[in-house]
Amino acid sequence: MLLRPYEPRDEAQLARLWYASWRSVGLDSPVVAEADLAARVPQEIAGRWSVTVAEDGGEMVGFLALALAENRLDQLFVAPAAQGRAVGRALFDVALQRMPGGFWLSTQPGNVRARRFYERAGMSLERIEDGPGGDRAVYVFPARG
């Protein structure tokens, strides 16, 4: 597996992977449509994301989007066919390297698979909160050092 920085040519593939992965989490309905994610990718990259892409055999199998100014792991998604192959852990390790002072993330409370992954990786549930887009579970990873 190769981890590398995002390149503009990755935009469409990243949006498709994001949506496919989101659909695979088992929630009743996705929060956003595929077209919304495709429109969001260039905006987020231009505005705040630092993105790492995971490739296997030249195919994108995951991505990590960090909002470094917020100390936030904003997105971590793995293609459904690549789940369970340590892609998520490799991307999570990039977050640990890039944000050694600690970081936070949020996910939907019903996303049990993601919550288990983050808890096994050493994150702690800080709170469940209501938000305009629905409830979210907020996790923190403490500063290392």
Question: What percent of the chain stands above pLDDT 90?
Answer: 62
Strand order in the sheet with 72-78: 2-5, 50-56, 59-67, 72-78, 103-107, 136-141, 124-129
- Cross-strand pairs, 63: 53, 77
Could you tell me the mean pLDDT of each successive run of 10 residues in the chain, 145 residues long? Answer: 95 88 67 77 88 96 96 94 95 97 94 94 94 84 84
Helix 11-23 to helix 34-47 angle (10° resolution) is 130
Over residues 22-44, the pLDDT tens digits come to 777 766 555 677 788 788 888 88
Query: Is residue 66 within 8 Å of residue 95, measured between CB atoms?
Result: yes
Average pLDDT for the chain: 90
Parallel, antiparallel, or unpaired: how do β-strands 136-141 and 59-67 relate?
unpaired
Count CB-CB contacts under 10 A for residue 14.
Answer: 25
Would you call 125 helix, strand, or coil by DSSP? strand
Q: Structure pTM? A: 0.90
Q: Which CATH number fits domain 2-100: 2.40.30.110, 3.40.630.30, 3.40.50.620, 2.60.40.10?
A: 3.40.630.30
Question: What ranges do the domains of the chain cover?
Answer: 2-100
